[in-house]
């Protein structure tokens, strides 16, 4: 399941869909209007996004609205951020080491 998330966001159309419904929940038709592809293609994308729990559906009357699951998106950025912190920490240590080596050279 977790693997799918990253394949899901690797696709530019799906990223665009995410950006759209991040602002407000939309029906599949409303989403499809924003793209040059077919309604079917958009449905396929929505299915993938739903399968990896990035978006959920809400029925309102006869319409289905797609919502963005904010927490999942935060998860992705969260681990990128953790990775970045690891690098930041080791580089800070390298800074200190270089300063020590330079002072030893004098």
Which residues make up the interface to other proteins (CB under 8 A)? 2-3, 6-7, 9-10, 12, 79-80, 82-91, 93-99, 101-102
- To other proteins, the closest distance from the beta carbon of 74 in angstroms equals 14
- To other proteins, the closest distance from the beta carbon of 35 in angstroms equals 18
Residue 58 or 96: the one with the smaller Cβ distance to other proteins is 96
Torsion of Cα atoms, 46 then 48 then 54 then 59, to 10°: 40
Residue 2 or 106: the one with the smaller Cβ distance to other proteins is 2
- To other proteins, the closest distance from the beta carbon of 52 in angstroms equals 11
3-class DSSP string for 39-85 = HHHHHHHHHHHHHCCCEEEEEECCEEEEEECHHHHHHHHHHHHHHHH
């Amino acid at each position: 399941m977790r693997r799918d998330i990253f394949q899901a966001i690797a696709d530019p159309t799906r990223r665009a869909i995410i950006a759209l419904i991040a602002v407000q929940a939309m029906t599949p038709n409303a989403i499809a209007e924003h793209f040059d592809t077919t309604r079917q293609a958009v449905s396929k994308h929505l299915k993938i996004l739903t399968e990896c729990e990035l978006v959920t559906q809400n029925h309102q009357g006869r319409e289905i609205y797609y919502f963005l699951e904010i927490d999942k998106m935060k998860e992705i950025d969260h681990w990128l951020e953790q990775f970045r912190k690891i690098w930041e920490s080791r580089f800070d240590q390298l800074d200190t080491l270089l300063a020590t080596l330079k002072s030893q050279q004098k």
